[in-house]
Structure 1
Amino acid sequence: MARLGFARRLATADRCLFGTWVKIPALEPVEILADAGYDFIVIDQEHAPLTLEFTYQATVVAQGAGLSVLVRVPDRSGSHLQRLLDAGVDGILVPRVTTVEEAATTVRQMLFPPAGDRGMGITSRAGRWGGLDRTEYLRFGDEEVMRAVQLEERAAIEAVEKILDVPGLNGVFLGMGDLQLSSGLPQSDPDLQRLTDRFLTAAGERGVPAGTAVQTAAQAREAADRGFRYVMVSNDTSLLRSAASSVVASLLEMGDPHGV
């Protein structure tokens, strides 16, 4: 059975898809997250020291275990896009996109001509090292790989309708943490909530799947109920820290078994 790219997987899913960020440069967490039942992972090259080589290896392991793989690239320069697409990732998140022009440039770099500027790499992993039919290789790259921009500033949210009208854009992500920083407002502020509603309405009207990131399962359910189609819940480092802290706290509460 042919593998579904993340864009088509979102389009055909009857529920919100849940994933988490990968920040630890090791393959074991990737396998653990797959065994735990996540739908996808996001390899975080923006806020973690993850190399192209590790990202390639993690993509192979994750997809082999049934996970979809998204990559958040370090910046919006475009320098990483071609090699990641050649590696066969299921989608890319480009951070800090603030204008229509930036979004358009980003999307063009991920689309094949004539719609874009992506180079032919059919002898790479994305083309099964030359084994994939050329027509299918081009179709998969343009139709099934998710090309998403992260909107993280107030000005970007206020231009969301125009940004989402960029041809070929098939995913969007609300960066609430940076939106709070840039606006100086807490997430609960009515103004930020109105911006979130505007973001979701614009995405819904255009059929563009909207994603976001949260810390807890309860928050993830709330996001799904609100209309987000893919949600990152915590990350591998925080999950490990939380579990380790819980064990240590329990041990300390038990006290010294020898009564010393």
Structure 2
Amino acid sequence: MTQPPLASRIAADTAVSGLIVKMPCAPVVELAGHLGFDLVLIDTEHGPSDSAELEHHLRAADAAGTAALVRVGSNDPLAVLRALDAGATGVVVPHISTRAEARAAVSAAHYPPHGSRGLALSTRAGRSGTIPLHQHLTDAAARTVVVAQAEDVEAVDNIGAIAETGRLNAVWIGPSDLSMSLGRPGELNHPEVSASIDKIVESVLSAPACRLAVLVDTVEDAIQWRARGASMLLFNHTTILHKGMSGIAEGFRQLQD
């Protein structure tokens, strides 16, 4: 059965699963789709950002029928444009700390009158000029996903205004950078860090059209966050590999003892 577009599922507050990956890993992107992940999140902030390689990964997502978001390196309109022109379903923009920054990210991702994205149907997103202009514009307006990452002290102070930004689909809490910004690097359970995360959660859940995205390590974590109201539940491919491989390595060492 064909799923509704990712943007529609997020808007409906449907729980969606995502796998965060870094290039090169096109086979993993394809596998995630075949396994039933609702989306893959291709990280070009903390991973390679080669445009040609990115297109191959987006083709892999298309082949497996899964949506693909690209985490761009910064709130740069050109980076957003290139990711979307390459065929991404949407973008994740890091270090959004003010309403103005959130509006800038949304504007870069949407065509006028909703934004300022430049138009070229000759791109992969335009199917190399084979898609009618009206259809492309209509689809882009309805289907493009924009996620802002809240991961700085300033973002915590402004989170209510950020979450109310028009056409911003979700806010993703960045706990590691948030802990750094608070002067508590890696202390994710520190009361100050926990309080900041709680404020982000409360503000995003209070926004009428914005949803909450979180990083989870296990299905149990996902269940708990879903109970708190999170819609986008994101698993890190590296963490999954680390846990699986370390378990195998430890088990094999026991055979050798």
> What TM-score do you get using the length of structure 2 for normalisation?
0.89
Q: Percent identity?
A: 28
Tell me which residue corresponds to 2:11: 11
Question: Within 1, Cα distance between the matches of 2:121 and 2:90?
Answer: 17
Q: How far apart in 1 are the matches of 2:2 and 2:253?
A: 51
C-alpha separation between the residues in 2 aligned to 1:159 and 1:166?
11
Q: What is the aligned partner in structure 2 of residue 68 from structure 1? A: 67
The structural deviation recorded for 1:132 is: 2.4
Structure-2 residue corresponding to 1:238:
239
Q: Which residue of 2 aligns with 1:91?
A: 90
User: Which residues of 2 match residues 116-127 of structure 1 at below 5 A?
Assistant: 116-127=115-126
What CA distance in whole angstroms lies between the structure 1 residues aligned with 2:143 and 2:64? 19
Amino acid at match of 1:200: V
Once residues 151 and 174 of structure 1 are traced to their aligned partners in structure 2, the CA distance between those partners, rounded to angstroms, is 5
> 1:120-175: CA deviations, max 9, x gaps?
12232222222323222112212211112111012212201112233332222111
Question: Which sections of structure 2, spanning at least 5 residues, go unmatched?
Answer: none
Q: Post-superposition shift, 1:201? A: 3.1
Query: Structure 2 vs 1, CA of residues 29 and 213 (structure 1 numbering), >3 Å: closer, same or farther?
Result: same
TM-score by length of 1: 0.88
CA separation in 2, counterparts of 1:57 and 1:109? 23
Shift of 1:187: 2.9
In the alignment, is the contact (CA less than 8 A) between 1:122 and 1:132 conserved in 2? yes
2:8–2:143 CA contact under 8 A, matched in 1: yes
Kindly indicate whether the alpha-carbon contact (under 8 Å) linking 2:15 and 2:230 is maintained by their aligned counterparts in 1.
yes
What's the CA shift string for 1:8-38, capped at 9, x where partnerless? 232246x411112111403222222223322
Please state how far the C-alpha of 1:211 moved relative to its aligned partner.
Answer: 0.5
Distance 1:103 1:77 in 2: 12
Partner of 2:144: 145
Indicate the structure whose relative CO is greater, using CA pairs within 8 Å and at least 6 residues apart.
1
* Aligned residue identity for 1:115: H
Tell me which residue corresponds to 1:157: 156
Cα deviation code 1:82-135 (max 9, x no counterpart): 121112211100001112222222221111112321111223222222232322
Equivalent position of 2:196 in the other structure? 195
Q: Within 1, Cα distance between the matches of 2:45 and 2:36?
A: 25
Contact kept, 8 Å, 2:110 with 2:144, in 1: the verdict is: no
Q: The residue matched to 1:75 in structure 2 has which SS?
A: coil
- Note if contact 1:34-1:67 (Cα within 8 Å) is conserved in structure 2: yes
CA contact (8 A) 1:23 1:50 kept: no
The CA RMSD over aligned residues, in Å, is 2.2
Q: Which runs of 4+ in 1 moved over 6 A?
A: none
2:215 alignment partner, one of 192, 206, 213: 213
Contact 1:171 1:209 in 2 (8 A): yes
Q: How many residues align?
A: 254
Report deviation, 1:253.
0.3
**Structure 1 unmatched runs, 5+:** none
The CA deviation at 1:206 is 1.9
Q: 2-side partners of 1:195 and 1:252: how far apart?
A: 42
1:147 aligned counterpart, secondary structure? strand
Structure 1 equivalent of residue 51 of structure 2 = 52
Deviations 1:169-210 (A, max 9, x none): 222211111111111343334444443333233323322121
Per-residue Cα deviation, 1:209-235 (whole angstroms, up to 9, x for no partner): 210112222222211111111011122
